[in-house]
């Protein structure tokens, strides 16, 4: 069907400042339009909440590391299976679902765009092969560049422009969307088993510090006019007292010229907001961090909320994963360093309510979201699957919009954590409007995806319709009812096609697009014989075989950017 009319729903479209207004949304040929003909298929959305399709700025769903996680966790899959149906492929879950299952489950929750935040450039083809197999969603992925030798060498010499050209080249050949930086300098150090411990530590064998990498790449990002800012996983992640490093990082980025567009995004902020001088004196630093954020506008963040369940941690932060292994209690540890580029690690992990640390981590994520006043700065995420599986998002939302929900969970947490938690003193309950910002509008805006996260004319017709009547349902008091509604949409619409109805996939012909950046620099990176020779020295594959050829993207969507260099 090419024409669709969603009638009479309560529309929440923050980008267009629509806050629960009863209105119609008209769709034609996959786009939101002003109006449609009488031939349009009508969805009666009376009493229902209509939002733009969900946008997830950070979720590990595809690529080498995710897949190694799948391989080592048959115990995770056996308890959560999806049968083949006439409409859907079979698969398994729980914390690392197989690809088809990932697409269906996100779509059932009303999500329509997801961003895979970590891609080792050398394994980029693998990431794209998996993204092709995630149906019903638009996707993009971020290449890991913070420890790439070409970046380290150029920035060490102060050649920011040369660095920018190489980054543009890398974005093109990996078909990437944003510059991802993880524990900058730490991953190269981990090549010999070391790490960095502050943003001013020197990286062994390279004359550079994390501060220089972060600010250098932020400048590169601005030169290239990339739609998203640098996407940063800070140094010292997961260590007590690391909030100092997080503050130092945010302050360092103040030096990057700011023209109204954020210059950096710190991801899974919860893991970077720890105070205390050790695990025994572990404290929340959400007040310090949120105070800074409330006073500064140059950055965006996502939560990295913890869920009390058995999940799997996986990040490019190899040294962090090893330190998690050393904490004890984990028998499986994967390490995967990637030559010239990055590293990685995986540890299955269970967050427990009776653990004083885990319970306080749970509190920290929510404290941050509630203390940061502007929901356009802080987005909902669990850093899936690191904090918890993505299908637990409705639980996170319930904690955000219902103090009662928070109290009930906090009551079962470790007593020490209860005492340290700031939640009892926080009364804030997010409205549906703020939820819409934190789960779609804000994320789309931070990503520079102007056609997503909103229902204005011209936007992609990605819509989620939930069984929530804002006039009749008090989501704070009846949080379980609202939570159930967020679990399965009444309708999910992708590019103007109904793909999910009453929580079931009804159309499987929508593979979704893979978005990538075609950055046009004035003087492109010169790939001469010298560069090819260097390439051969640095990597174990030939230059000719390195790029992701275009046919690797089943449904590509090229976004052309004009750089300033």
Partner 1 sequence: MTEIKSVVCPICGCLCDDLEVTVENNEIIKMKNGCAQCEAKMVHGYKSEERILKPMIRKDGKLVPVSMDEAVHKAAQILTDAKYPLLFGWSSSTSEAQQVGVELAEELGSALDNCCSVCHGPSVMAEQEIGIPSCTLGQIRHRADLVIYWACDPWASHPRHLERYTSFTEGRFEGSEWKNYMEKLKGAASQKKVALASRRILGSYNPPIHPQTCTVDAPPQAINKNGRKLIVVDVRKTITAEAADYFLQVEPNKDYEILESMRCLVADQELDVDKVGGVPVEYLKEVTDAMVNCDFGVIFFGLGLTQSAGRFRNIEIAIALTRDLNRRTKFVISPMRGHFNVTGANVVFAWQTGYPYALDFSQGYPQYNPGEFTAIDLLRRGDNDATLVISSDPGANFPRGAMQNMMKHPIITINPDMNAISRLGDVVFPTQWCGIECEGTAYRMDLVPIMLHKVVEPPKGILNDEELLRKILEEIRAIKAKNPETENNAELKARNKLAPRIEIKQRKKTKKAEVA
For the segment 205-224, give every residue that binds partner 1 (CB under 8 A). Answer: 205
Does residue 509 belong to the site contacting partner 1 (CB under 8 A)?
Answer: no
- Contact characters 177-206, partner 1, x per CB under 8 A: --------------xxx-----------x-
Nearer to partner 1, 16 or 418 (CB): 418
Nearer to partner 1, 131 or 239 (CB): 131
Tell whether residue 95 is a contact of partner 1 (CB under 8 A).
no
Determine if 393 is a binding residue for partner 1 (CB under 8 A).
no
CA distance 464 to 484: 14
On whether the CB atoms of residues 159 and 196 are closer than 8 A, the answer is no
Angle ∠(77,129,336) on CA atoms, nearest 5: 65
Please report, as residue ranges, which positions from 395 to 414 form the binding site for partner 1 (by CB under 8 A).
Answer: 412, 414
Q: Which residue lies nearer to partner 1 by CB, 292 or 322?
A: 322
- Picking from 471, 513, 493, 534, the residue whose alpha carbon sits closest to that of residue 46 is 471
Q: Which two tokens stand for residue 501?
A: 């109805």
Handedness of CA 97, 398, 288, 325 (dihedral sign): negative
Q: Determine which residue in the list 14, 53, 91, 442 makes contact with partner 1, applying CB under 8 A.
A: 91
Establish if 562 lies at the interface with partner 1 (CB under 8 A).
no
* DSSP symbol at 231: E
CB of 419 to partner 1, least distance (A): 11
Near partner 1 by CB under 8 A: residue from 16, 42, 80, 296: 80
Number of residues that bind partner 1 (CB under 8 A): 76
**What secondary structure letter does DSSP report for 441?**
I
Identify the residue among 13, 130, 434, 460 touching partner 1 (CB under 8 A): 130
Longest dimension (CA), the chain: 69
State in angstroms the smallest separation of the CB of 326 from partner 1.
8
| Adjacent-strand bridge partners of 42 | 5
- Rounded distance between C-alpha atoms, residue 45 and residue 27, angstroms: 14
**What burial letters (b/e) apply to 65-74, b meaning 16+ CB within 10 Å?**
bbbbbbebbe
Tokens of 214: 């972060």
333 binds partner 1 (CB under 8 A): yes
The answer to the question of residue 338 lying near partner 1 (CB under 8 A) is yes
Structure tokens of 187? 């991953």
Q: Is 255 in the site for partner 1 (CB under 8 A)?
A: no
Q: Report if residue 388 touches partner 1, rule: CB under 8 A.
A: no
Whole-angstrom distance, CA of residue 314 vs CA of residue 120: 13
The piece of 75-83, 160-168, 291-299, 423-431 that touches partner 1 (CB under 8 A) is: 75-83
79: contact with partner 1 by CB under 8 A: yes
Q: Which residue in 37, 38, 523, 537 binds partner 1 (CB under 8 A)? A: 537
């Amino acid at each position: 069907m090419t024409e669709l009319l969603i009638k009479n729903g309560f529309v929440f479209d923050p980008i267009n400042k629509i806050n629960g207004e009863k209105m119609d949304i008209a769709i034609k040929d996959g786009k939101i339009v002003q109006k449609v003909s009488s031939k349009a298929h009508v969805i009666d959305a009376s009493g229902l909440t209509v939002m733009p399709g969900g946008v997830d700025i950070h979720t590990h769903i595809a690529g080498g590391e995710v897949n190694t996680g799948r391989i080592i966790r048959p115990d995770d899959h056996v308890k959560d299976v999806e049968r083949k149906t006439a409409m859907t492929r079979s698969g398994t879950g729980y914390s690392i679902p197989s690809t088809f299952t990932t697409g269906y489950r996100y779509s059932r929750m009303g999500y329509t765009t997801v961003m895979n935040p970590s891609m080792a450039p050398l394994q980029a083809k693998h990431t794209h092969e998996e993204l092709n197999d995630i149906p019903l969603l638009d996707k993009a992925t971020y290449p890991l560049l913070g420890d790439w030798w070409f970046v380290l060498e150029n920035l060490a010499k102060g050649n920011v422009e040369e660095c920018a050209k190489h980054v543009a080249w890398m974005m093109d050949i990996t078909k990437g969307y944003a510059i991802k930086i993880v524990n900058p300098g730490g991953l190269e150090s981990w090549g010999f088993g070391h790490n960095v411990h502050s943003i001013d530590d020197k990286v062994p064998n390279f004359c550079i510090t994390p501060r220089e990498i972060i600010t250098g790449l932020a400048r590169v990002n601005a030169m290239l006019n990339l739609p998203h800012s640098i996407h940063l996983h800070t140094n010292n992640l997961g260590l007590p007292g690391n909030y100092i490093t997080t503050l130092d990082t945010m302050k360092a980025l103040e030096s990057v010229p700011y023209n109204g567009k954020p210059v950096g995004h710190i991801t899974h902020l919860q893991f970077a907001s720890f105070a205390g001088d050790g695990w025994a004196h572990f404290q929340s630093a959400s007040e310090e961090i949120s105070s800074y954020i409330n006073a500064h506008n140059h950055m965006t963040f996502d939560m990295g909320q913890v869920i009390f369940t058995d999940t799997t941690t996986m990040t490019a932060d190899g040294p962090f994963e090893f330190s998690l292994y050393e904490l004890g209690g984990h028998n499986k540890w994967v390490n995967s360093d990637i030559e010239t580029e990055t590293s990685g690690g995986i540890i299955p992990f269970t967050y427990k309510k009776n653990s004083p640390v885990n319970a306080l981590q749970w509190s920290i994520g929510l404290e941050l979201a509630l203390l940061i006043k502007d929901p356009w700065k802080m987005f909902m995420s669990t850093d899936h699957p690191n904090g918890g599986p993505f299908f637990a998002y409705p639980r996170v939302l319930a904690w955000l919009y219902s103090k009662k929900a928070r109290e009930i969970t906090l009551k079962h947490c470790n007593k020490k954590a209860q005492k340290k938690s700031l939640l009892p003193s926080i009364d804030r309950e997010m409205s549906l409007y703020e939820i819409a910002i934190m789960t779609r509008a804000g994320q789309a805006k931070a990503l520079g995806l102007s056609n997503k996260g909103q229902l204005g004319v011209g936007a992609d017709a990605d819509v989620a319709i939930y069984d929530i009547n804002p006039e009749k349902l008090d989501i704070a008091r009846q949080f379980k009812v609202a939570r159930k509604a967020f679990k399965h949409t009444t309708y999910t619409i992708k590019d103007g096609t109904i793909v999910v109805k009453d929580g079931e996939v009804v159309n499987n012909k929508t593979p979704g697009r893979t978005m990538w950046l075609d950055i046009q620099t004035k003087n492109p990176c010169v790939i001469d014989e010298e560069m090819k020779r260097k390439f051969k020295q640095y990597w174990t594959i030939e230059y000719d075989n390195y790029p992701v050829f275009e046919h690797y993207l089943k449904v590509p969507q090229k976004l052309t950017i004009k750089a300033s260099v």
